[in-house]
């Protein structure tokens, strides 16, 4: 009887142990899947962060070999990538994993985005490059923040190493922050190719009605009652540039009336703009001097910011 009872108890224990083991195994499977899924996506994000860090380090160290447009393009490229990091980190916050590794990665990522944004903005301001991005949070010392958050992540990235799935999370690098902390923008600020050189020019002047054949600098027009000029201008510098165009008509034989008009605009880097002044009244046989003046910055090499014409209106057919 005792032997039978012992066998029954043993059987019950074995069945219970099997059920416990199966339940534990079934509970482990989802965790393993969640951890591994998080690990793959997190490492994709970390790889992007490290890739940007390496490229930014190279640009900071060798940016003095680039011109202003190329250097600004690199900074803008980095800035555009940063906005994607926050979205990717936010998507990794659920489901919650062991040791709050999701929230830790999210928080550190936000801190690093703000630090990179501040660092890029600091570089742009030193070089007087156009820059409009406002950081998530202005960071007092972006290089120190990047180094500190990298060290912090590299301490906690082993959070899932002993959890189901045995997930290995990649480390973060801080080469660009280390370089910036040691050298700042000293080399970049001394680079002639990155220096701001303001330059503008008159691109073209158009007259309506179209002038008749005449010597250079002479606008020979039919005896119309009004004339309109069009003036295109160019910003030859890589910076935002306010400009002013003035057209002044001075009659020389008392046949017409004086005319003056000033127009302003702000040109973006390497951009152009066409001004259309008002028409001014003319008279048959009028002779006048027309001066078109562009101001706001020095003339670009080989270009002009002042054009002077002799206006000659043909006699009336009557």
69-78, 134-143, 224-233: which has the minimum mean pLDDT?
134-143
pTM: 0.80
Burial of 292 (0-12, 13-18, 19+ CB in 10 A): buried
Q: Are 229 and 209 in contact (CB under 8 A)?
A: no
The whole-number average pLDDT for the span 160-170 is: 90
The whole-number average pLDDT for the span 161-168 is: 90
DSSP for 200-228, please give it. Answer: EEEEEEEEESPPBS-STTEEEE-S-SEEE
Q: Are 260 and 247 in contact (CB under 8 A)?
A: yes
> Which pLDDT belongs to residue 30?
86
Please state, for a pLDDT cut of 90, what percent of the chain lies above it: 81
Of residues 26 and 106, more confidence is placed in 106
Q: CA 3, CA 11: separation in Å to the nearest integer?
A: 12
The whole-number average pLDDT for the span 12-34 is: 57
Res 15 pLDDT > 50: no
The whole-number average pLDDT for the span 277-292 is: 96
> Which pLDDT belongs to residue 16?
46
Burial track 174-185 (b if 16+ CB lie within 10 A, e otherwise): bbbbbbbeeeeb
> Which pLDDT belongs to residue 318?
62
Beta strands at 287-295 and 272-275: parallel, antiparallel or unpaired: unpaired
Q: CA 306, CA 75: separation in Å to the nearest integer?
A: 36
Tokens describing residue 183: 């050298």
> Which pLDDT belongs to residue 10?
52
Between the CA of residue 58 and those of 54, 75, 180, what are the distances in Å?
6, 12, 11
Res 137 pLDDT > 90: no
Binning pLDDT at 50, 70 and 90, where does residue 26 land? very low
Q: Give tens-digit pLDDT for 199-242.
A: 999 999 999 999 999 999 999 999 999 999 999 999 999 999 99
> Which pLDDT belongs to residue 28?
63
Q: Are 117 and 82 in contact (CB under 8 A)?
A: yes
Res 11 pLDDT > 80: no
Res 246 pLDDT > 70: yes
Please state, for a pLDDT cut of 70, what percent of the chain lies above it: 91
> Which pLDDT belongs to residue 99?
86
Res 301 pLDDT > 50: yes
For the chain, give the longest Cα–Cα distance.
Answer: 142
Q: Give tens-digit pLDDT for 147-156.
A: 999 999 999 9
If DSSP codes are grouped into helix, strand and coil, which group holds residue 54?
A: helix
Res 142 pLDDT > 60: yes
Averaged pLDDT of the chain? 91
Starting at the earlier edge strand, list the strands of the sheet with 287-295. 218-221, 306-313, 287-295, 241-251, 259-267
């Amino acid at each position: 009887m005792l032997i039978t009872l012992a066998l029954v108890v043993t059987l019950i224990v074995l069945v219970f142990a099997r059920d416990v083991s199966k339940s534990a195994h079934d509970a482990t499977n989802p965790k393993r899947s969640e951890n591994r899924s998080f690990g793959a996506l997190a490492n994709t994000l970390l790889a992007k962060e490290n890739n940007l860090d390496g490229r930014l380090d190279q640009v900071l160290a060798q940016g003095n070999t680039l011109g202003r447009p190329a250097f600004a393009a690199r900074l803008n490229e980095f800035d555009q990538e940063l906005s994607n990091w926050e979205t990717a980190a936010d998507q990794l916050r659920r489901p919650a994993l062991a040791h709050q590794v999701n929230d830790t990665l999210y928080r550190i990522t936000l801190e690093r985005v703000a630090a990179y944004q501040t660092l890029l903005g600091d570089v742009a301001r030193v070089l007087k490059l156009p820059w409009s991005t406002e950081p998530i949070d202005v960071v007092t010392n972006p290089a120190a923040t990047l180094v500190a958050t990298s060290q912090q992540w590299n301490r906690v990235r082993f959070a899932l190493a002993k959890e189901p799935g045995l997930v290995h999370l990649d480390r973060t690098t801080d080469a660009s922050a280390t370089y910036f902390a040691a050298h700042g923008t000293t080399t970049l600020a001394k680079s002639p190719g990155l220096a701001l050189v303001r330059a503008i020019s008159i691109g073209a002047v158009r007259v309506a009605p179209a002038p008749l054949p005449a010597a250079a600098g002479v606008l020979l027009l039919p005896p119309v009652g009004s004339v309109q000029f069009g003036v295109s201008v160019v910003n030859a510098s890589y910076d935002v540039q306010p400009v002013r165009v003035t057209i002044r008509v001075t009659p020389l034989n008392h046949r017409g009336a004086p005319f003056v008009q000033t127009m302003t605009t702000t040109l973006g880097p390497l951009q152009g703009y066409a001004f259309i002044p008002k028409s001014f009244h003319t008279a048959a046989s009028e002779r006048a001097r027309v001066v078109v003046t562009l101001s706001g910055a020095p003339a670009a090499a080989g270009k002009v910011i002042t054009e002077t014409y002799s206006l000659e209106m043909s006699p009336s057919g009557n």
